Amino acid sequence: MRWLIALVVLLAAFGVQAEVHSEMVTYSDGDTPLKGYLYWDDAAQGRRPGILVVHEWWGLNDYARIRARMLAELGYVAFAADMYGEDKVTEHAADAQGWMKQITANVEAWQARALRGLQVLETDERVDPEKLAAVGYCFGGATVMQLAYAGADLDAVVSFHGSLPPATPEQQSRIKARVLAAHGDADAFMPPERLAAFKAALEAAGVDWELDIYGGARHGFTNPDATKSGLENVAYNEKADHRSWARMKSFLEESFAAQR
């Protein structure tokens, strides 16, 4: 009898895990081939909100894909987009910085690359194209802000330890999304004047925005492997990670429930 109970428990656990499916999606931005990963839960019925997930400056690694899977477990369809192409993933800061600079040097091209990922998500048959959001980490946090500044038809954008580029006056007029930024108070990459400019631009735009600041948290605070990077200002913070994820969940629920 004990082995039967154990087998039932094991099968039940396997069944829960097996509900989330993933699929590699190839797409392109001009001549650049890109490869992202779509995640969804078959237990959910009908079309549901879609979440674009944008990776850190390291490239589309396992961390971004894990976050996309976690969002699928919440009932969303999540697409982990590729911002670099050519399977560019690294653990070396010099490489990551170089790739990031190539993308961010041209803001319009940067926005266009992110919009291609969003197009893949919104055209998926499981996604409600009227309910879309974007979540990004580090470089990805800045990228989802650029999506908002491009006027993407999003309900919400969420930036985790992003560089928070301030919107220009022209960009301010395009923003449609609600904005949540999760920031570490001990993040030395963020000068106080930049943070002030980010807030002032959103306020001038009349955007529904929120900035959550986590005491003692450094850059990369949501990534359990952040401390392994060896960078002085980069470290995981378990409390800030859990608290910011919880706030993101409620923020997305609020945003999708609101009438646009």
Domain boundaries, the chain: 21-257
Beta-carbon contacts of residue 30 (< 8 Å; ≥ 6 apart): none
The residue-averaged pLDDT of 191-215 equals: 97
Q: Integer distance in angstroms from the first to the last C-alpha of the chain?
A: 55
**Window from 15-19, 163-167, 170-174, 244-248 with minimum mean pLDDT:** 15-19
Q: Which pLDDT belongs to residue 15?
A: 44
- Which pLDDT value is given to residue 2? 43
Which percentage of the chain shows pLDDT scores above 70? Answer: 92
The Cα–Cα gap between 88 and 83 comes to: 9
pLDDT for 4 equals 34
Query: pTM score, two decimals?
Result: 0.92
Architecture of domain 21-257 in CATH? 3-Layer(aba) Sandwich (3.40)
Coil, strand or helix at 58: coil
Tens of pLDDT, residue by residue over 41-87, are 988 889 999 999 999 999 999 999 999 999 999 999 999 999 999 99
Residue 18 has pLDDT above 50, yes or no: no
- pLDDT at position 106: 98
DSSP 17-35: HHTEEEEEEEEEETTEEEE
Token look-up 């894909």 returns 65
CB 134 within 8 A of CB 51: yes
Q: What whole-number distance in Å separates Cα of residue 77 and Cα of residue 6?
A: 32
Residues 164 and 201: beta-carbon distance below 8 Å:
no
Residue pLDDT, tens place only, 127-156: 999 999 999 999 999 999 999 999 999 999
